[in-house]
Amino acid sequence: MDENQLTMQLLDETWVLSDGKPGMENQALGLAEAVGLANRVVRVVPRAPWRFLAPLRLAARLAENGLASPWPRLLIATGRQSVPYSLAIKRASPATFTVQIQSPGIAARHFGLIVPPRHDRLAGANVLPTRGALHRVTPARLAAEAARFAPALAHLPHPLVAVLIGGDNGVYRLTDAVADRLIAGLEQLVKTQGAGLAVTASRRTSPAIVARLRQALANLPAVMWDNTGDNPYFGYLGLADHVIVTGDSVSMVSEACATGKPVHVVDLEGGSPKFDSFHAGLRADGLTRAFSVPLASWSYAPLNDTALVAAEVRRQIGLA
């Protein structure tokens, strides 16, 4: 059977393949949405002994994860755990175009396109580096979510500041000292600039830090999401005049920069050469600055890596 016959059997859709980590899965889903085909999310985690075997030997295990013919026109995979499945699907369906987000840890020739952050310093004919993480932020989504959540924030003064709080990870720590400096800065911001605060914490924010923030914000013009009801994250981004974000999350910083609004990064304790390179690159490009009071204002073209990568994928699969 030739490649044209194989192509005719493909589903005209995208499979998003991930290990279920929200930050990584949202990158792949954001790209899939930007490409514009119908998408299906498939979460896979190889178990022992399969994760220790050569990747192509996982081909026989695909059906156990709901992966079977007819195959998709486009496969977008993210995370090292997805790599064996991506290779196995490509072996079963050579006409499927495979995109791997972030470094796969193996030769680039095994994929149609690799999309790493530029601070990974990967290069190649089929490698398309990005300045930040891919994401699901679009002008349409921001506008729609801003309209949904505007009534809940209508009582807050302006400038309205979205405050995105992360937490500890492999290289950063959100310590009590950092939290104290952030809280003091927010209090000063309200006092000197009359700001209103729309605050949201992540899954990685420690309960102790969340409690301290709630206590400090109780007497300020502020709303802090209590993790009930619909997530207001995109709404806060859409409504804000400024965004303050902790520097532990490439995804949160990238999403903030997709708004085109001033993004003020809170430095945490720790760091790594890759994170340092990421933050230095965005500051050099004029997208972010270190958080300080009073808040400065500036303008820049919104970070649009997702749209740029989607345009290249559409070209590669014949949709452009």
Give the pLDDT confidence of 161-172 residue by residue, as tens digits.
999 999 999 999
Strand partners, 257: none
- Nearest-angstrom CA–CA distance, 248 and 180: 17
- Average pLDDT, stretch 112-121? 93
pLDDT at residue 99 is higher than 50? yes
HSE (side-chain half, CA atoms, 13 Å) at 248: 22
Tell me the CA distances in angstroms from 71 to 38, 215, 243, 270, 318, one per residue in order: 13, 52, 41, 44, 17
Task: For residue 43, name the pLDDT band (cuts at 50, 70, 90).
Answer: confident
CATH class of 139-290: alpha beta
State the pLDDT at residue 22.
Answer: 83
State the pLDDT at residue 56.
Answer: 47
**Cα four-point dihedral sign 185, 186, 192, 198:** positive
| pLDDT: which is higher, 55 or 308 | 308
* DSSP at 57: G
pLDDT at residue 144 is higher than 50? yes
| pLDDT: which is higher, 128 or 91 | 128
State the pLDDT at residue 19.
Answer: 82
CATH architecture of the domain formed by 3-131+307-316: 3-Layer(aba) Sandwich (3.40)
State the pLDDT at residue 67.
Answer: 83
List the single range of 21-30, 128-137, 251-260 with lowest mean pLDDT.
21-30
Kindly tell me the burial class for residue 312, based on how many C-beta atoms sit within 10 Å of its own C-beta (0-12, 13-18, 19 or more): middle
Which residues lie below 8 Å from residue 288, measured CB to CB, with a gap of 6+? 253, 256, 257, 263, 264, 265, 279, 282
pLDDT at residue 54 is higher than 70? no
As annotated, the residues of the chain forming the CATH 3.40.50.2000 domain(s) are 139-290
